[in-house]
Each structure stands twice: as C-alpha cells, then as structure tokens.
Chain A
Amino acid sequence: MTRPELSEHASPAALPGTPVLEVDDLHVEFRTRSGVVNAVNGVSYSLAAGETLAILGESGSGKSVSAQAIMGILDTPPAVITGGGIWFEGRDLLQQPAEEQRKVRGPGISMIFQDALSSLNPVYSVGYQIGEMFRAHRGMSKKDAKARAVELMDRVRIPAAKSRVNDYPHQFSGGMRQRVMIAMAIALDPRVLIADEPTTALDVTVQAQVMDLLKELQRDTGMGLILITHDLGVVNEVADNVAVMYAGRIVERGTVDDVFSDPAHPYTDGLMGSVPQVEAKGGRLQPIVGQPPNLAAIPSGCPFHPRCARRRLGAAAAPGKDCAADVPPLRLVVPGREAACHYSEEVLGV
C-alpha cells in the first residue's frame, strides 16, 4: 500500500490550508423512549479546500451521525443537535433558518452514501435524479437538466451515458450505481463532499475504481473531501489527515502517515494491531478486548478505559489523570498530532 504524495493531489485551484468547513464542539443526542443516547460528544475538526480528511471509527462511534448533522439531514426527532457550531463559508449553519441550510445542501456541501441501491429512488430514472439537482437549485428546465445529467454521467465515466440516462437504478451494477450517486453529489461543484462509507458495499476492484474517481474529481475541483470509513486500507491510500473517533469523540488526529506509523492513543494502537499485515503472516491478530461502549451509558473518565491495557486508576494514576474519573481532553501531544489520552507520551514512546 503506497500513498500518493500530498502535493500530487492538492489542486492548483484550491488553496491548501484555507478551511472551508469547521466543525466546532458538536454535540448530538438521540432522545428515545428508553433514554438519551449521546451519539456525538464534542467533535471539532476543520477541512481545507483540496484536503481529504478521513473519519475513522467503528459502528456507533458517531462518525455518520456527525456527518448527517453537517448535512442537516438528521431525523429530528429523535436526534437533537444540543450544542456546537458548523461553520461553512463564514456562517454557522446551525444558526441559519432551514431554508438557508437547504440551499447549502448540493451546491455547498453534498454527500454520498454507502448503499447506492437503496439510496437512489427506484421509481425514477438516474437521469431524472441527477437532473433534479439542476432543477431544484438552478431552476433549469427538465430537458436542460437531463442534458447536464448526461454530461455528468460521462464525467464519472459511466459508459454509453446518453443511452443509459433514462435507465433506472436497478438496471446498473453496484459500481455504476455508486458513480451515479457521485455524479449527483458533484453536480453543482460543491466545496465539500462527504462520502459516508462510499465503497463498503462494493467489490474490492470496484472499490479502487470508485476511490480513484473521487480523488480525480477532487483534483479537478479542489473540493474538500470527508471520507467516513472503518476501512484502514482506504484511509491509508487516499486520505491526507485522519481523525479517529470513539464513543462520539475524536480520540486522535494527525496526518495519516504519522497516525498509522506511530499511534498516540491506545485505541488507535489497538486498531493498527487488529489489521492483518502481509509481513506478519502466520502471526496472531491482536483484537481490542471488550465491547464498544453503550452510548446510553458512556463510561466515566476516558470512555476507552474499560478496554485499555494502559489504564491507570486510583493511586497508580498521576494527579488529575485517573482514567476512570478524569476525561482526557484532545490535546497537542507532539507538533501536528493531537490525542485524547492522559498518557499519550507513553503510548508514543517520546
């Protein structure tokens, strides 16, 4: 697995380093009959133009929920955004009226989903569904919108786009359907594209093609890409930076190279240890012991401490750093690297 150099996919049109999207201390909870589920607990990150940020985490870590909060498509109720801000183009989207938020979806920020078959409406042709972007946001006629849909299908390299524009989603293969989703998402040249597990439902070979397509489109347009995944391989290949989430919090953040080669959080360390390596063939994998946390009852202190081999409790802990009592803040450990562990220096070995 080799990773392209950063400079190679930084678009000349984009200014790397200028944040286009900033998420600030986002809190989301689900109010259900059986209690409150704290899905996102103070997540902050920023995304620069042309940057690919991978959000890595297991199911229930809050990665998809935080993305849906950015898009403004959470099911409310039960989901409620209880705090924080989502800054896009100088405005906090959460303070905007619903109509303003709607206008951002598509031309500003857009999203592609995991399962393209269920995410496309089965009763409309793909051309109609792509064209809807132009009709809803640009007021185009049905005919013009369809013509633009053909162009977009060409652009995402769907063969014979012109003759397939009136076909329905079920008539496409899985990879082609995901291309349709991508065509729809990039239709209005968004500044930010959120890809929620875009390749999880696809064959490995098709996965690579779809990721290549996303990277190519990003090079052309300079959009920021948020890649939500639990696939370490995909992260390693395409992302610039990575944020690792656990129990609705970011527990580690840095460049992909740094985080993957030298984790600063025991959870990240555990993730790396649980991936099969070609060099370690025949050896045993090291799973992370225990279960993912119940978000309705997140453990006190560091949410990872019940599963952590390095935890220090009571007298063994440094003052104010009891893993079961004191919540570790996300802090700068070494330049360019943040982690939410009291003992990151030990994990890193610095």
Chain B
Amino acid sequence: MGRYIARRLLLTIPVLIGASFLIFAMVYALPGDPIRALGGDRPLAPAVVAQLRDQFNLDDPLLIQYVKYVGDLLQGDFGTDFRGREVLDTIEQRLPVTVKLTVVAIVFEAVIGIIAGVLAGIRRNGFLDNLVLVSSTIVVSVPILVLAFVSQFVLGVKFGWFPIAGINDGWYSFLLPGLVLAAGSLAYVARLTRTSVAENLRADYVRTARAKGLRNRDVVIRHTLRNSLIPVVTFIGADIGTLMGGAIVTETVFNLPGIGRAIFDSVQAQEGAVVVGIVTLMVFFFIFFNLVVDVLYAVLDPRIRYD
C-alpha cells in the first residue's frame, strides 16, 4: 500500500506540470492587454507600461514566460499580481473561506444524502422513496444560480433565518451557501445510495444473513449498508475536489471572499500568476482527494488490493 501511495504521489508531478501549462497558455491567449486595463479610464504613462511589462515578463514568448514562472515557483515564489500583492497571501486569505464552505457542503451532502438514500432504498416505492425521487429531480433540474438566488431571497431576506451574505457570522454564515453548493451532489448521493441499498438488499449474502437469524437491524446495518456505501464514499471523496473548485457561483451570490471568487476576478483581470497559482493548487487538491478515495476503497472492500 505504501509503495502504491508513493507511486501515485509521484504521478501527480507530470499532471501538475501539464495542468499548470494549459492554464498558463489559456490566460496568455486571452484577448486584451491586462496592463492597459490597470489604468482604467486614464491611460498609464508609456514608461510605466514598459516597466510593468518587463517586470511580469509579458513580452517574452509563452514558453519562456512559463519556464520563468515555474522557476520562481520551485523557489517557493508564487509571484505577485499586477498590483504587487503576493499570490500566496491571496491564497492564504481566501482558502479558509472556501474550505469552510466545502466542509459544510460535504457534511450536508453526506449526512442528508446518505440518510435519505438509505431510508428510500429500504422501503422502495414508499412515501419517502417518492419524496426523495421528486425532490432530487427538482434540485438536479434547477440551475445552481437560480437555487442560490431563490434560497437567499426566501430564507435570508424574507424569513431572515440565515445571514444574507458575507462571512461575519462564523460558521453560521456558511450554512445556506453550503446547502446551495451541496444541493446537486446531495440529490445525486441520495439517488446513488438508494439504488445501491435496494440492490444490495436483494443480494445473496443478505439472504444468508437473514437465514442466520440475525436481527433485522444487523442485517440492514452490517450486511447491507457497508457494502452499499462503497460507491457512495467514492463519489463523495471525488466531489470534495469538485466542490472546492466549483464554488464560484455560490461564492459570488453570497459574497464569500473565497478561492472561486478569486479565480473569477483574476481571470477577468488577466492576472496570469494568480489564476495559475490557484488553479494548480485546486488540481493538486483534486488529485489528492482522488488518492484518498482510492485508499479508502481498499479499506472498505477487502477484494481490492493495490500491491
């Protein structure tokens, strides 16, 4: 297992290089001149423009720019944005917000999704099963943007149950955005769990468990749930990475100064160093959580061995 993990970690290096180069190239290809845009309505002095272009290597060809960037990166220098702000500072400030949002979303997704899915799977075609079916279909069909605005307006503005925007109420400010962010995955987890439980309840080994005279509770929890949750855990693990990078809409609507917002703003400002730094970090998280899932898979299912 140790060798397997080491090999997988080594494999992340080429992936990170490839991903960061692609992002770098895409930012490079964006139309418009980021330096000119800095001045807004008032054009900058040509000398200032030239000095900034030189400082950020903007006149070099793409490949040279990239190599210089990676060279700095290897020395721990993430670079600065055009206003001279350290990218690392931005990440340090923004990441905790996104991590909190993701944690809240994953907890909602796992707890509500699994409980709803299990109850629906045990009593197939019952009231709860149909409720899960209808509500998950609705949630999946509504775009997250609509969901975000509607819930913000109804639950935040009308009823005043949740903070409308910002992060001034600690974890409480993350409840509603977390729920909105989790909604789609939550519906998917519920459906996945339901199918998996319903399928496993018909398995031969569940029949054996009943024939052994085990209590119904043990038949369901020990012999059905553990087997059923293997695909669900896999999905949730991989979803952590997706949610961290995919929170742009939620962070914007609820005005959360997180990573997603930072990416959005820097793409607009063509801040190459910021975009590449953050996205590469996201790619690393994504790979890391996928590795965690693969390891967890072997823990949950003894038939899977990597050595």
Complex Cα spacing A104 to B213, Å: 7
Interface residues on B, range: 20 to 34
A133 an interface residue at 8 Å Cβ cutoff?
A: yes
| Per-position binary interface string of chain A over residues 99-123, scored 1 when its CB falls under 8 Å from any chain B CB and 0 otherwise | 0001111110011010100111111
B213 near A121 with CB under 8 A, answer no
Determine, out of B163-171, B200-208, B238-246, the stretch whose residues face the partner at the interface.
B200-208
B232 to chain A, nearest CB (A): 14
A73 near B204 with CB under 8 A, answer no
B219 to chain A, nearest CB (A): 10
Residues of B within 8 A of A170 (CB): 302-303
B210 near A113 with CB under 8 A, answer no
A88 to chain B, nearest CB (A): 13
B110 an interface residue at 8 Å Cβ cutoff?
A: no
Complex Cα spacing A120 to B204, Å: 8
A136 an interface residue at 8 Å Cβ cutoff?
A: yes
Residues of A within 8 A of B207 (CB): 73, 113, 119
Residues of A within 8 A of B15 (CB): none
A97 to chain B, nearest CB (A): 13
B212 near A133 with CB under 8 A, answer yes
B204 near A113 with CB under 8 A, answer yes
B205 to chain A, nearest CB (A): 4
A73 near B210 with CB under 8 A, answer yes
B211 to chain A, nearest CB (A): 5
Interface residues on A, range: 20 to 34
Complex Cα spacing A52 to B223, Å: 32
A121 touches which of B205, B215, B300 (Cβ 8 Å): B205
A105 touches which of B212, B223, B226, B300 (Cβ 8 Å): B212
Residues of A within 8 A of B218 (CB): 132, 136
Complex Cα spacing A39 to B212, Å: 24
* Majority DSSP secondary structure for residues of B touching A: helix
A105 near B211 with CB under 8 A, answer yes
Instruction: Tell me the chain B residues, 33-47 only, with Cβ under 8 Å from chain A.
Output: none
Complex Cα spacing A113 to B205, Å: 10
Complex Cα spacing A103 to B215, Å: 9
Residues of B within 8 A of A45 (CB): none
B156 to chain A, nearest CB (A): 44
Given A168-B302, A170-B303, the answer on whether A119 and B205 have CB atoms closer than 8 Å is: yes
Residues of A within 8 A of B203 (CB): 118
Residues of B within 8 A of A103 (CB): 213
Name A108's closest neighbour in chain B (CB-CB).
B213
B302 near A123 with CB under 8 A, answer yes
Residues of B within 8 A of A71 (CB): 210-211
Residues of B within 8 A of A102 (CB): 213-215
Complex Cα spacing A106 to B215, Å: 12
Complex Cα spacing A107 to B213, Å: 9
B214 near A132 with CB under 8 A, answer yes
Residues of B within 8 A of A143 (CB): none
A110 near B212 with CB under 8 A, answer yes
Residues of B within 8 A of A152 (CB): none
B208 near A122 with CB under 8 A, answer no
Complex Cα spacing A104 to B211, Å: 10
A142 an interface residue at 8 Å Cβ cutoff?
A: no
Given A136-B218, A168-B302, the answer on whether A120 and B208 have CB atoms closer than 8 Å is: yes
| Per-position binary interface string of chain B over residues 265-307, scored 1 when its CB falls under 8 Å from any chain A CB and 0 otherwise | 0000000000000000000000000000000000011110000
A263 to chain B, nearest CB (A): 33
A118 touches which of B205, B210, B214 (Cβ 8 Å): B205
Complex Cα spacing A72 to B204, Å: 15
B213 near A105 with CB under 8 A, answer yes
Name A136's closest neighbour in chain B (CB-CB).
B214
Complex Cα spacing A133 to B212, Å: 7
Residues of A within 8 A of B147 (CB): none
Complex Cα spacing A107 to B212, Å: 9
Residues of B within 8 A of A132 (CB): 212, 214, 218
Complex Cα spacing A107 to B214, Å: 11
Q: B residues within 8 Å of A by Cβ?
A: 202-205, 207-215, 218, 222-223, 226-227, 300-303
Ordered by A's residue number, 25 sampled pairs between the chains whose C-beta atoms are within 8 Å are A73-B210, A73-B211, A102-B214, A105-B210, A107-B213, A110-B211, A110-B213, A113-B207, A118-B204, A118-B205, A119-B208, A120-B205, A120-B208, A121-B223, A122-B205, A122-B303, A123-B226, A123-B302, A132-B212, A132-B218, A136-B218, A137-B213, A168-B303, A170-B302, A184-B208
Known contacts A119-B205, A121-B227, A122-B302, then 18 further A-B pairs from the complex at CB < 8 Å, ordered by chain A residue = A75-B202, A102-B213, A102-B215, A103-B213, A105-B213, A106-B212, A111-B211, A113-B204, A113-B207, A113-B211, A115-B204, A120-B205, A122-B227, A122-B301, A123-B227, A132-B218, A136-B218, A170-B302
Q: A residues within 8 Å of B by Cβ?
A: 71-73, 75, 102-107, 110-111, 113, 115, 118-125, 132-133, 136-137, 168, 170, 181, 184
The list of the 10 closest CB pairs from A to B, nearest first, reads: A105-B213, A106-B213, A118-B204, A121-B205, A119-B204, A168-B302, A73-B210, A119-B208, A111-B211, A136-B214
